């Protein structure tokens, strides 16, 4: 029983992290700049095991700027500051580099659901998520959108007693599903079908 009581605190953990979220690719080109990223990691990883799992609850906000559409009648779209709430379930791989196995390099990857809010129904991001920005009164236009995505990245973890400090970056790829919008290419040009950004966060966990 004593051994079991020692093992559980070293396996289950939760924490808090903050940093920046940097749009990449098309999301950056559509007029969005880096913003705030906050994460709450909850997971299980025995120090003696290679694999563990982690639920990452996240909040990301980007800073919107204006975007000028293409086509015969260019239009200036005023981008709001969108917010993205997420829940990601990842598999982690730890590679310890100290004797107690409390500090490590680790890899993380998995999938999740992403809730987009406050992006503005007539913004560039709204068009990327499926709204018809040329017809702001379209009944199919949405103000809140849920999408699926995947993510992957790496980090450094430094153990301090039963706590750890960590630094991590990942690439988040959300499948936008914007093919439902026939006017997309005429407005935004030929682009990919995903929204991507890279959070860079620093935080702590308690075991």
pTM of full prediction above 0.85: yes
CA distance 21 to 117: 16
Q: What is the pLDDT of residues 147-185, one digit of tens each?
A: 999 999 999 999 998 899 999 999 999 998 765 555 677
CATH number reported for the structural domain that contains residue 131 in this entry = 2.40.160.20
Query: How many structural domains compose the chain?
Result: 1
Name the residue range of residue 156's domain: 2-206
| Residue 57 in this model has a pLDDT that exceeds 70 | yes
| Residue 111 in this model has a pLDDT that exceeds 80 | yes
- Write down the mean pLDDT value for the chain: 88
DSSP state of 37: E
At 6 the three-state DSSP class reads helix
State residue 1's pLDDT score: 39
- Where are the strands (E) in 25-118, listed by range? 32-33, 35-44, 51-61, 63-64, 66-68, 76-78, 83-96, 104-117
């Amino acid at each position: 029983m004593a051994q079991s009581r020692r093992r559980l605190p070293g396996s289950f953990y939760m924490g808090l992290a903050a940093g920046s979220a940097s749009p990449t690719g098309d999301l950056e080109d559509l007029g969005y700049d880096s913003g705030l990223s906050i994460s709450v990691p909850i997971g299980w990883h025995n120090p003696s095991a290679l694999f563990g799992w982690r639920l990452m609850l996240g909040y990301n906000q980007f800073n919107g700027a204006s975007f000028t559409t293409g086509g015969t009648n260019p239009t200036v779209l005023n981008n709001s500051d969108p917010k993205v709430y997420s829940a990601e379930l990842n598999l982690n791989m730890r590679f310890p580099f100290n004797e107690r196995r409390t500090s490590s390099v680790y890899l993380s990857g998995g999938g999740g659901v992403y809730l987009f809010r406050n992006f503005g129904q007539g913004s560039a991001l709204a068009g990327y998520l499926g709204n018809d920005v040329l017809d702001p009164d379209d009944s199919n236009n949405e103000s809140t959108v849920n999408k699926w995505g995947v993510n992957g990245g790496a980090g450094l973890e430094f153990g301090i007693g039963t706590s750890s400090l960590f630094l991590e970056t990942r690439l988040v790829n959300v499948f936008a599903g914007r093919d439902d919008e026939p006017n997309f290419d005429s407005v935004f040009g030929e682009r990919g079908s995903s929204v991507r950004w890279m959070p860079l966060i620093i935080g702590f966990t308690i075991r």
